């Protein structure tokens, strides 16, 4: 197994950050193709957006390991980010695939019996496992596994964007990153580094990777970092004595501090436990040194020992120091750039009614806790969200009165009819309600806005009732808000009476209502049903509420009427009734609605 610039991987149970870090490494190494061939999330499909340099790319997401391997035949590495609970099954499945040669298991805590079964299975199929409990590995300038080596800045500082001459193998992933930095300062840098993982039974051993480095002509010297516990380091000793490891080698076994403790010590890794004398760091370091491997006196002297061996190899011509390579500049992520204050971008949207970025949501600048503590009603909330103002209580109660009165007009109006038909046709709640709301217009609810516009214009111009009626007749336009199919002067609309009574008792003035009633007196001369209807009354009383309230300037009122705020009240109110109709149909389990033939008039043209 050898990683190259053509090595490609599948990532199981992927995380966005490791994926992007691998792609960033690919870019600064000047790879032609991203190292990630695909992502695997059990049961899911789709595409994951990521960046390859400054170009946005789409990585395919597969529902299973089998499907990913079948589609991405050039991917021979699977990086497994599964938890310890599912890492065994997914790793076993990956090892079963003919296209996968290396499985990297990140999870810690896999039961030792399962780990040993995976190792045995991989050996039988001549495949390699890196891990469990590993951060993976890296071949400088070619291929990186997951989060290995950290950020791009650290990778460049450690010269990992181009290959050096050192092969490094370690049990510790955290110390691997520290060692990459040390190698960059003492040698021409890393060629390949592997962290085998800290569990008691690693999928591949220190020796196996050291022997791989022995076969790589690019690797001129080997550095190994072991740790107390276990006997893996003694396999290195035997291989060195038998002449299997001929390249110059520097090694150190961490954990020499264990001797100062009065009892056995369990360090961070499962396999790093002080115990028998042969498993101590001192005994291992002594054996390594006796086998002819360069071993420093302490970890603090490790960099000096590495530099010493490296300089000898340079001096005798074994190593020609790698030339420095200027990596391409990686574009900065937008969020990072904004956070650093080096870019600015105009917002796509503007919101002035609410904000949820602080400790609590605010409506019109008022904390929601204050709204609740003040026992505010829905009318107060609407005034803050729609008008961005706190209006007097008589105004917010008027809004609530409108919602109550306009909530339901019966099942025969167009909105209710559409919602019922959609519901009985099997549509969901939201779709059914939307079909009813879409009928709101000049003949159903939309008269609120038009009534407010026309009556305000006429009243503000000082027209008399008869002049206004005559003007609308000359324009051949119906007066919005006047007229009802059923109600008449002798059979008044109770809703209109309730609204008028509330306004007369609570509003400081009702000049627009008074004008509308004088217009009604004129229209009643023509027909008994040309009365002020509920839509017209709501629009006109809104004018009175705003004009009598100090919260609204003339400009505010004109803008509210022009934009169409008032129809919004009808939409909100009617939503309540339409939802009721839809739920009623669902509860009744009404059959699919079909027009009977005798309800349809067919016009057949000759």
CA–CA separation, 107 and 134 (whole Å):
7
Same domain, 435 and 556: yes
Same domain, 301 and 168: yes
Residue 260 has pLDDT above 80, yes or no: no
CA–CA separation, 81 and 78 (whole Å):
10
Q: How far apart are the first and last CA of the chain?
A: 82
Same domain, 301 and 368: no
101 neighbors 127 (Cβ within 8 angstroms): yes
Contacting residues for 262 by C-beta, under 8 A, at least 6 apart: none
**Residue that has been written with the tokens 């409990």 in this structure:** 133
CA–CA separation, 186 and 1 (whole Å):
27
Q: What is the overall mean pLDDT for the chain? A: 91
Q: Which of 325, 343, 371 is the last residue of a domain?
A: 325
What is the pLDDT at residue 259? 56
Q: Residue 79 forms beta bridges with which residues?
A: 11, 104
User: Residue 339 domain-assigned?
Assistant: no
Read off the tokens for 421: 């038909």
The H or E element containing residue 36 is strand 36-40
User: Residue 61 domain-assigned?
Assistant: yes
How many structural domains compose the chain? Answer: 4
CA–CA separation, 384 and 354 (whole Å):
9
The H or E element containing residue 354 is strand 354-355
What is the pLDDT at residue 270? 47
What is the pLDDT at residue 340? 87
User: Residue 295 domain-assigned?
Assistant: yes
Give residue-wise pLDDT tens across range 75-126: 999 999 999 899 999 999 999 999 999 999 999 989 999 999 999 999 999 9
Per-residue 3-state assignment (H helix, E strand, C coil) for 45-88? CEEEEEEECCEEEEEEEECCHHHHHHHCCCCCEEEECCCCCCHH
| Cα→Cα distances 382→75, 178, 372, 423, 580, Å | 57, 59, 14, 29, 21
Same domain, 384 and 488: no
Give residue-wise pLDDT tens across range 339-381: 888 888 788 888 999 999 889 999 999 999 999 999 999 999 9
Give residue-wise pLDDT tens across range 416-438: 989 999 998 889 999 999 999 99
Backbone CA torsion sign across 491, 492, 493, 497: negative
Same domain, 373 and 292: no
Backbone CA torsion sign across 36, 42, 45, 47: negative
Say which of 48, 161, 209, 269 is annotated catalytic.
269
Question: Among candidates 199, 87, 215, which has minimal Cα distance to 207?
Answer: 215
**What are the two backbone dihedrals, phi and then psi, of residue 49, each rounded to the nearest 5 degrees?**
-80, 135
Q: In what order do the strands lie in the sheet with 143-144?
A: 143-144, 136-139, 190-195, 166-170, 221-227, 249-254
Residue 285 has pLDDT above 90, yes or no: yes
CA–CA separation, 1 and 3 (whole Å):
7
Give residue-wise pLDDT tens across range 187-210: 999 999 999 998 889 999 999 999
Contacting residues for 553 by C-beta, under 8 A, at least 6 apart: none
Question: Among candidates 202, 161, 154, 152, which has minimal Cα distance to 176?
Answer: 154
CB atoms within 10 A of CB 587: 8
Same domain, 367 and 440: no
Same domain, 542 and 459: yes
Same domain, 580 and 440: yes
CA–CA separation, 533 and 28 (whole Å):
72
Active site (annotated) includes residue 581: no
**What are the two backbone dihedrals, phi and then psi, of residue 511, each rounded to the nearest 5 degrees?**
-65, -35
pTM: 0.68
Q: Which of 101, 132, 163 is the last residue of a domain?
A: 132
Same domain, 362 and 503: no
CATH no. for residue 77? 3.40.50.720
Q: What single DSSP character describes residue 259?
A: G
User: Residue 563 domain-assigned?
Assistant: yes
Same domain, 375 and 451: no
What is the pLDDT at residue 412? 85
Q: Considering all CA atoms of the chain, what is the largest pairwise distance in Å, rounded to the nearest integer?
A: 120
Give residue-wise pLDDT tens across range 539-555: 999 999 999 888 899 89
Same domain, 190 and 314: yes
Pairing of strands 143-144, 366-367: unpaired
Read off the tokens for 346: 């105009």
CA–CA separation, 97 and 101 (whole Å):
8
CA–CA separation, 533 and 492 (whole Å):
9
137 neighbors 161 (Cβ within 8 angstroms): no
Q: Which of 388, 404, 420 is the last residue of a domain?
A: 404
Question: Among candidates 133, 188, 196, 195, which has minimal Cα distance to 165?
Answer: 188
CA–CA separation, 294 and 252 (whole Å):
9
Give percent of the chain above pLDDT 90: 75
Same domain, 306 and 367: no
Residue 269 has pLDDT above 50, yes or no: no
CB atoms within 10 A of CB 539: 28
Give percent of the chain above pLDDT 70: 96
- At residue 257 the predicted structure's pLDDT band, cuts being 50, 70 and 90, is low
User: Residue 536 domain-assigned?
Assistant: yes
Read off the tokens for 503: 């306004």
Residue 292 has pLDDT above 80, yes or no: yes
Give the mean model confidence (pLDDT) for residues 559-586.
Answer: 90
Q: Which domain holds residue 250?
A: 152-325
């Amino acid at each position: 197994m050898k990683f190259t610039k053509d090595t490609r991987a599948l990532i199981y149970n992927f995380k966005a950050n490791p994926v992007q870090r691998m792609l960033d490494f690919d870019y600064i190494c000047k790879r032609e193709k991203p190292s990630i061939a695909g992502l695997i999330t059990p049961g899911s499909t789709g595409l994951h957006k990521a960046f390859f340099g400054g170009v946005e790319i789409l990585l395919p997401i597969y529902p299973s390991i089998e499907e990913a391997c079948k589609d991405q035949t050039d991917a021979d590495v699977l990086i497994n980010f599964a938890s310890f609970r599912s890492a065994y099954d997914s790793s076993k499945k990956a090892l079963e695939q003919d296209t996968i040669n290396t499985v990297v298991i990140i999870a810690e805590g896999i039961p030792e019996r399962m780990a040993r079964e995976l190792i045995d299975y991989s050996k039988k199929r001549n495949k390699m496992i890196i891990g469990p409990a590993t951060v993976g590995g890296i071949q400088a300038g070619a291929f990186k596994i997951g989060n290995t080596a950290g950020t791009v800045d650290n990778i460049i500082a450690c010269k990992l964007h181009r290959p050096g001459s050192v092969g490094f193998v370690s049990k510790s992933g955290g110390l691997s990153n520290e060692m990459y930095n040390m190698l960059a300062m003492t040698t021409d840098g890393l060629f390949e580094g592997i962290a085998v993982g800290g569990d008691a039974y690693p999928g591949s051993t220190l020796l196996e990777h050291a022997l791989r480095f022995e076969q790589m002509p690019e690797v001129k010297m080997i550095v190994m970092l072991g740790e107390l516990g276990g006997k893996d380091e003694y396999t290195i000793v035997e291989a060195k004595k038998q002449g299997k490891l001929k390249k110059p080698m520097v090694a150190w076994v961490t954990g020499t501090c264990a001797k100062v403790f009065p009892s056995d010590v369990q360090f961070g890794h499962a396999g790093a436990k002080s115990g028998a004398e042969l498993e101590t760091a001192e005994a291992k370091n002594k054996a390594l040194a006796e086998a002819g491997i360069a071993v420093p006196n302490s970890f603090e002297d490790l960099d000096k020992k590495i530099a010493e061996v490296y300089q000898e190899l340079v001096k005798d011509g074994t190593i020609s120091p790698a030339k420095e390579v200027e990596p391409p500049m990686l574009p900065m992520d937008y969020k990072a750039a904004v956070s650093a204050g080096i870019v600015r971008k105009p917002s796509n949207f503007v919101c002035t009614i609410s904000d949820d970025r602080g400790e609590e949501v605010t409506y019109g600048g008022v904390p929601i806790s204050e709204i609740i503590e003040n026992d505010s009603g829905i009318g107060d909330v609407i005034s803050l969200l729609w008008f961005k103002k706190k209006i007097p209580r008589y105004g917010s109660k008027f809004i609530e009165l409108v919602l109550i009165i306009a909530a339901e007009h019966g099942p025969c109006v167009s909105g209710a009819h559409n919602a019922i038909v959609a519901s009985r046709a099997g549509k969901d709640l939201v779709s059914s309600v939307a079909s009813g709301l879409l009928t709101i217009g000049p003949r159903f609810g939309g008269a609120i806005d038009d009534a407010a516009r026309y009556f305000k214009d006429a009243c503000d111009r000082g027209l008399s009732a008869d002049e206004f009626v005559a003007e609308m007749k000359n324009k051949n336009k119906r007066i919005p808000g006047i007229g009802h199919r059923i109600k008449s002067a002798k059979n008044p609309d109770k809703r209109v009476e309730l609204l008028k009574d509330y306004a007369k008792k609570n509003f400081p003035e009702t000049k627009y209502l008074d004008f509308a009633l004088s217009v009604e007196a004129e229209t009643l001369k023509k027909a008994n049903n040309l009365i002020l209807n509920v839509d017209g009354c709501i629009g006109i009383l809104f004018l009175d509420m705003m004009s009598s309230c100090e919260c609204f300037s003339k400009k505010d009122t004109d803008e509210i009427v022009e934009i169409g705020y008032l129809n919004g009240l009808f939409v909100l109110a009617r939503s309540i009734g339409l939802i009721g109709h839809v739920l009623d149909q669902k509860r009744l389990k009404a059959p699919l609605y079909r027009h009977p033939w005798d309800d349809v008039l067919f016009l057949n043209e000759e």
